[in-house]
């Protein structure tokens, strides 16, 4: 999955950008008070995308 697609999915499900790290971007889910990091790779493995969504407590991407 492309990084941009995952970011769109995360933002569409109510998560907001929190901060930039050195090699990752941190997103925050305000209703659940959960955070997760998205690495800065052009391609993100599907299993990692599912784990990020699970950490943020949002549905996995299709």
Residue pLDDT, tens place only, 2-42:
999 999 999 999 999 999 999 999 999 999 999 999 999 99
Cα end-to-end span (Å), the chain: 10
pLDDT score for 62: 85
Residue 5 Cα distances to 9, 20, 43, 57, angstroms: 6, 18, 10, 18
Asked whether residue 49 carries a pLDDT value surpassing 90, the answer given is: yes
């Amino acid at each position: 999955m492309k990084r941009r697609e995952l970011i769109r999915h995360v933002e569409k499900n109510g998560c907001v950008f929190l901060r930039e790290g050195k090699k990752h971007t941190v997103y925050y889910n305000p209703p659940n008070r959960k955070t997760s990091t998205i690495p800065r790779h052009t391609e993100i493995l599907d299993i990692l995308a599912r784990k990020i969504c699970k950490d943020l407590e949002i549905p996995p991407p299709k």
